[in-house]
Structure 1
Amino acid sequence: MHRFKHSLLHPRFGPSFNIPIRFNHDHSLSDIGSMASRLRSRSVIRFSGPDTLKFLQGLVTNDVRRLGEPVGNAERISNVPTPNMSFATVPPMYAALLTPQGRFLYDFFLYRPSRSEERVDPTGSAPGSDPNGEFELFADVDSQALDDILRTLKRYRLRSKVTIENVAEDFSCWQRYGNNLSSKCASGEDPEGVAIGWGSGTDLAATSSSQGNEHGWQWFRDPRLEILGYRGIFPSTTEAPLVGADKETHEDNYLLWRLEKGVAEGSTEIPKGEAIPLEYNLEGLNAISFDKGCYVGQELVARTHHRGVIRKRVLPLKFLSSCGKVEDQRVVSGSEVLNAETGKKIGTVTTALACQGLGLLRLEEALKQPNTLTVQGQVDVKVEAIKPNWWPLEWFQENQQIAVA
């Protein structure tokens, strides 16, 4: 397949790199169809060895023991004997590595590749052999911090029997997203994969093979939020399934998709060594287990969760002119957000692209109506803070408690 040369494109350009995305009246991406982006901001590392789970369990915020459990009925089961594809899979997991003081360092998407005993053999009739093969996990991590991540992990390794390898040249990270991928389907089902077939029926073999490739790699629901779409890692030498030239688009569009949902990702958007995980909503993104036992930085996270009130959180932002029109490329990361009436600083823009962004803001003032927020030094730019639909109700109750106090 012919590939277009990637360059830094204006975010309004979407699939095929030359067809403008049809923004709706409020300049959002909520009405677009499915797209896919190769995430060049993410790289892949590989863990292997008998101590892999034990090593990660004492290090990251989520309970990685689930990745080592036998596949049960709760996991997605394939209904068809497609050669080399798993008849059962373990979903990926989102987690973070913290400093001993409980501050964010790096985030990880952890994948357990299907084992040979979980795959159908080339005849399509039975699982493969070698159930005692080497245990391994793959992690999708921030490319800009890749070297630091490897050094940090190896520093913690000590005498653990685990090998940590950089396989960024061999694998690529991909994300599929868009409005029609957020539709309600049975758990684990892919709306586009389910649609493959003849007439009103579904070709189950085609459905299964469309979601993975001949090496056994496949798409998974994003472990953070269903509305984010599908995520996967695939060999760099092969095409990701269900991605055609008309759907592959610049990674900036995936960033815009995340900004609309209020989801930060990577150490460039979640400040390394500074961010408090709960302020960046990591518990709502399924990155933290509060009953797994000890891990690096657990004390602050547990104490804040059980006793504290989160006064600041990351919110999606929209930048508007004084007349209500969107303002493209006028606000940069690090800009201070002010209450226009009092001149008081209520937070900071952490990420900005086009007319959208993320901001770490004080909830009491950010969500107060009417909205009177602006950017320091740009009084003609209004800032609209938006309440994400996926936020748990108790987060709003916390905000109400703050206001009452």
Structure 2
Amino acid sequence: MSAIILEDRGVVEVGGPDAAKFLHNLVTNDIAKLLPGQARFCALLAPQGKILFDFLVFAVGEGEDRRYLLDCPLALVGDLVKRLGMYKLRANVTVTPRSGELVSYAFLAAEKPQAEAVALAEDPRSERLGWRALAQQGAIPASGGRADYDAARVAAGIPEGGLDFAYGDAFPHEANMDLIAGVDFTKGCYVGQEVVSRTKHRNLARKRVAPYRTSQGQAPAPGAAVRAGEIDIGLTGSHSGEIGLALIRLDKLADAAAAGIATTAEGVSLEFAAPSGAS
């Protein structure tokens, strides 16, 4: 089974007796029930409800030795460590960057890989993304291509922060976190929870990352304006071949569809589908 190394990912370890409670009270998903062999997709939000960081969380160890490994964008490791440090106060936790030691891998297969991993779990966002692992540097030979992972991610409709939405500027619903197991609406309070809950219960999500397909060859490059006639309705993001993702104003997309107006980007026609996980 091919192991795809994700070189743009970093790792932050949160340990100590209060680690579970500390993380559970901060992030969008349920950490209190997370067990070894599982992963949670989470975000740490600003008080205003916008995504500052998103990451996969793995539980490692048992009892008093339990710690949590956060698989996050490598470029954001330093900022994430600082942000978590701001919330420590008197909590008995340690926050340690581990990117120099641990490497993130993806396995695009349904069966569990046999790998010497520190943490190994199914990717909770989509079955199409298979398994994720964190392992010591050099412990797992990389034999798959990164383009294969990106193609699977785009085909599954899974957004990537910094490409499909901007950190500090997007709400969880806009990044489809409510549709891809990134938000637990029953866990109680966390930073930004009131905004996320209000968006859900009042159906206030006006924008989302939506998948599209073009029959005219290669999908447009990221950052291209999506237009319905003469009206700008969004921006393109990730793409692979003829498929891609775009952050779109849902009301304007619906109006264009009802009026029979084509949506285009860089002169290429785009046919949109419902966001991943949406009915």
Same fold (TM over 0.5): yes
Offset of 1:134 from its aligned partner? 2.6
Pair 1:332-2:218 in alignment? no
Give the one of 123, 130, 147 matched to 1:229. Answer: 130
Q: Distance in 2 between matches of 1:267 and 1:97?
A: 15
Report the structure number with the largest CA radius of gyration.
Answer: 1
Gaps of 5+ in 1: 1-33, 69-88, 116-131, 183-189, 194-209, 394-405
Give the one of 36, 44, 55 matched to 1:108. Answer: 55
Preserved contact between residue 43 and residue 173 of structure 1 (Cα < 8 Å): yes
Please, what TM-score do these two structures have when normalized by structure 2? 0.89
Q: Which residue in the other structure is 1:385 paired with? A: 272
Q: Distance in 2 between matches of 1:310 and 1:91?
A: 29
Offset of 1:90 from its aligned partner? 3.9
Q: Which residue in the other structure is 2:82 paired with? A: 151
Pair 1:211-2:114 in alignment? yes
Q: Distance in 1 between matches of 2:60 and 2:65?
A: 11
Preserved contact between residue 334 and residue 350 of structure 1 (Cα < 8 Å): yes
Bigger shift: residues 99-108 or 148-157: 148-157
Preserved contact between residue 371 and residue 384 of structure 1 (Cα < 8 Å): no
> What does residue range 113-262 of structure 1 map to in structure 2 within 5 Å?
113-115=60-62, 133-177=64-108, 181-182=109-110, 190=111, 211-213=114-116, 217=118, 219-239=120-140, 245=143, 248-249=144-145, 251-262=146-157
> What does residue range 2-401 of structure 1 map to in structure 2 within 5 Å?
35-67=2-34, 89-115=36-62, 133-177=64-108, 181-182=109-110, 190=111, 211-213=114-116, 217=118, 219-239=120-140, 245=143, 248-249=144-145, 251-318=146-213, 320=214, 324-327=215-218, 331-340=220-229, 343-352=230-239, 354-366=241-253, 368=257, 372-375=262-265, 378-379=266-267, 381-387=268-274, 390-393=276-279
Deviations along 1:154-198, one digit per CA (max 9) or x if unpaired, are: 112122111111111111001111xxx35xxxxxxx2xx5xxxxx
Preserved contact between residue 333 and residue 350 of structure 1 (Cα < 8 Å): yes
The residue identity in structure 1 corresponding to 2:83 is T
- How much identity, in percent, do the aligned residues show? 30
The residue identity in structure 1 corresponding to 2:128 is I
Offset of 1:302 from its aligned partner? 0.5
Offset of 1:297 from its aligned partner? 0.6
Preserved contact between residue 37 and residue 120 of structure 2 (Cα < 8 Å): no
Preserved contact between residue 18 and residue 93 of structure 2 (Cα < 8 Å): yes
Preserved contact between residue 36 and residue 175 of structure 1 (Cα < 8 Å): yes
Q: Distance in 2 between matches of 1:386 and 1:35?
A: 30
The residue identity in structure 1 corresponding to 2:29 is N
Q: Which residue in the other structure is 1:21 paired with? A: none
The residue identity in structure 2 corresponding to 1:239 is I
Preserved contact between residue 27 and residue 45 of structure 2 (Cα < 8 Å): yes
Preserved contact between residue 145 and residue 267 of structure 1 (Cα < 8 Å): no
Offset of 1:332 from its aligned partner? 2.8
Q: Distance in 2 between matches of 1:325 and 1:345?
A: 20
The residue identity in structure 1 corresponding to 2:56 is F
Q: What is the aligned residue count?
A: 276
Offset of 1:325 from its aligned partner? 2.9
The residue identity in structure 2 corresponding to 1:285 is I
Q: Distance in 2 between matches of 1:267 and 1:175?
A: 19
Q: Which residue in the other structure is 1:16 paired with? A: none
**Structure with more of its chain in strand, by fraction:** 2
Offset of 1:103 from its aligned partner? 0.5
Q: Which residue in the other structure is 1:396 paired with? A: none
Q: Distance in 1 between matches of 2:197 and 2:261?
A: 33
Q: What SS is found at the alignment partner of 1:256?
A: helix
The residue identity in structure 1 corresponding to 2:218 is E
Preserved contact between residue 211 and residue 245 of structure 2 (Cα < 8 Å): yes
Q: Distance in 1 between matches of 2:126 and 2:239?
A: 21
Q: How large is the RMSD of aligned CA atoms in angstroms?
A: 2.3
Offset of 1:105 from its aligned partner? 0.8
Q: Distance in 2 between matches of 1:236 and 1:111?
A: 17
Preserved contact between residue 211 and residue 219 of structure 1 (Cα < 8 Å): no
The residue identity in structure 2 corresponding to 1:326 is G
Shift of the 261–365 alpha-carbon distance from structure 1 to 2, 3 Å rule, reads farther
Q: Which residue in the other structure is 1:6 paired with? A: none
Q: Distance in 1 between matches of 2:188 and 2:52?
A: 19
Deviations along 1:11-68, one digit per CA (max 9) or x if unpaired, are: xxxxxxxxxxxxxxxxxxxxxxx64310011111111101111211121011110126
Q: Distance in 2 between matches of 1:285 and 1:364?
A: 22
Deviations along 1:317-348, one digit per CA (max 9) or x if unpaired, are: 33x4xxx43136xx3322211113xx112212
Q: Distance in 1 between matches of 2:165 and 2:43?
A: 11
